[in-house]
């Protein structure tokens, strides 16, 4: 490649990276202990985040908490899946404003991927929670570019054994665990594992949803997977 063309290509690459940084400048808080270990002190908005769970309910709940923080008082959240098994009332304990939540179902994988892409492109959408798997590298990057352009934030959900997305800014694994015998159903305890963070390092935490906050929990006993509030059948 001629030197002039190489310099131009590098300039375009730098401008692209700078543009991405500007679009992802808004930071979404997770929890104090977790934010302290993230490179920007929280999760970047306008990006794709992958959330995998041993149960879909845990992945939905964690993503809903973050999505509501993205949307705040005026934004809109889209939940997209291949079925109609979401129980919206199950999201109320996590602070989700159901008036600003829209659930969309698309059975065919091609239609599902299209719906997620169009939702991320929509400037009226703040956050997208999507049950989506089987994306190749090109499709993953297309979703990331859509999020960067519109500044929507995507939370793509999958089973814990599924292949990782190529373009996610962060990758999380979440599992419900058994707490004390008096633990309330609307105060779940989760083992949270950050397996990848662009520009940062992985980490593991035990957190509980209590008082509309994710609070760190110290435990010295062996943890066991437990049931969750039913958000999806």
User: How is the chain split into domains, by residue range?
Assistant: 24-216
Report strand pairing: 43-44 vs 203-210: unpaired
CA distance 69 to 129: 13
**Overall pTM surpassing 0.85 (yes/no):** no
Q: Which CATH class is domain 24-216?
A: alpha beta
Token output for 176:
């419900």
What sign results for the dihedral spanned by CA atoms 127, 128, 133, 139?
negative
CA distance 40 to 70: 16
CB 99, CB 110: distance < 8 Å: no
Residue by residue, pLDDT tens for the chain (233 residues) are 666 666 565 655 554 444 444 444 689 999 999 999 899 999 999 999 999 999 999 999 999 999 999 999 889 999 999 999 999 999 999 999 999 999 999 999 999 999 999 999 999 999 999 998 888 888 999 999 999 999 999 999 998 878 888 789 999 999 999 877 667 878 999 999 999 999 999 999 999 999 999 998 876 444 455 544 445 54
């Amino acid at each position: 490649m001629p030197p002039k063309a190489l310099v131009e290509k590098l300039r375009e690459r730098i401008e692209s990276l700078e543009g991405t940084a500007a679009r992802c400048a808004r930071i979404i808080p997770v929890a104090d202990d977790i934010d302290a270990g993230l490179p920007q002190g929280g999760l970047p908005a306008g990006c794709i985040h992958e959330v995998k769970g041993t149960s879909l309910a845990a992945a939905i709940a964690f993503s809903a908490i973050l999505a509501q923080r993205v949307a705040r008082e005026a934004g809109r959240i889209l939940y997209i899946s291949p079925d109609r098994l979401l129980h919206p009332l199950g999201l109320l304990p996590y602070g989700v404003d159901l008036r600003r939540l829209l659930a969309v179902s698309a059975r065919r994988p091609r239609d599902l991927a299209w719906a997620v892409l169009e939702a991320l492109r929509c400037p009226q959408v703040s956050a997208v929670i999507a049950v989506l798997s089987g994306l190749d590298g090109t499709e993953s990057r297309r979703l990331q570019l859509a999020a960067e352009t519109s500044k929507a934030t995507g939370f793509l959900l999958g089973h814990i054994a599924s292949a990782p997305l190529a373009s996610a800014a962060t990758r999380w694994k979440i599992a419900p665990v058994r707490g004390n015998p008096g633990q309330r159903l609307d105060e779940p305890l989760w083992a949270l594992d950050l397996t990848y963070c662009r520009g940062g390092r992985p980490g593991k935490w035990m957190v509980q949803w209590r008082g509309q906050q994710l609070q760190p929990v110290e435990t010295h006993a062996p943890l066991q997977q437990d049931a969750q509030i039913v958000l999806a059948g």
